[in-house]
Amino acid sequence: SQTIHQWPATLVQPVGSPLSLECTVEGTSNPNLYWYRQAAGRGLQLLFYSVGIGQISSEVPQNLSASRPQDRQFILSSKKLLLSDSGFYLCAWIWDGEQFFGPGTRLTVL
Amino acid sequence: AQSVAQPEDQVNVAEGNPLTVKCTYSVSGNPYLFWYVQYPNRGLQFLLKYITGDNLVKGSYGFEAEFNKSQTSFHLKKPSALVSDSALYFCAVRDPYSGAGSYQLTFGKGTKLSVIP
């Protein structure tokens, strides 16, 4: 069966520090992968999506970047975190036309 | 551009009563519609979807949704609410003609459902 993992589950970082969040998918190949951010426990904002290795599309200009170094790995990064980067980050993938979500990473920037 | 509206930030319902969470959408073609549920500090869980066919779609945990093309609505319903149904509910739409193989979903802002014992 297909599963999606996110690491770490929670993270507290100071302003100006770097960031690396990882998403990995098991049980499938060449999935479409997505990064979302959810602020204040409400609406989701699509940040990036990827249809294959090395292919990244950015939906919102911001302080973040994404990379897909392997088929089933999707990484969200920042060189210098801002307070406004705090939120709940969700990775998702597509199977049979449906999006399935990982457990999420809670990021707090202090 | 596609959009989704969930007009209620919060819905309160007594346990055992029927519940409805409202969703309206805007898309250029025939929509693909979805409902997701989110429990605190968890990822979103898929509940149900409408692609084509019967307007009444049945999903997980006893939930169903009715697609109404004339009213561009896709309201989530359940005949008898449980306290464990308390969560955040998201409606989402995908325009099948959005192209680029991106399968992007546009989500509503979410509706917090509270089921009161």
Scan for tokens 């014992």, then name that residue. B117
Looking at residue A29, its pLDDT comes to 82
A44/B contact by beta carbon, under 8 A: yes
- What token pair was written down for B37? 């549920």
pLDDT band at A98 (very low <50, low <70, confident <90, very high): confident
Cβ-defined contact of B46 to A98 (cutoff 8 Å): yes
Q: Which helix (H) or strand (E) holds B31?
A: none
A98/B contact by beta carbon, under 8 A: yes
Q: What's the mean per-residue pLDDT of chain A?
A: 90
Interval B23-43: pLDDT, tens:
999 988 888 999 999 998 888
Query: What's the CA angle centered on B5, arms B59 and A31, to 5 degrees?
Result: 55
Mean pLDDT value of segment B53-76: 95
Burial of B1 (0-12, 13-18, 19+ CB in 10 A): exposed
Measure in Å the smallest separation between the Cα of B109 and chain A Cα atoms: 4
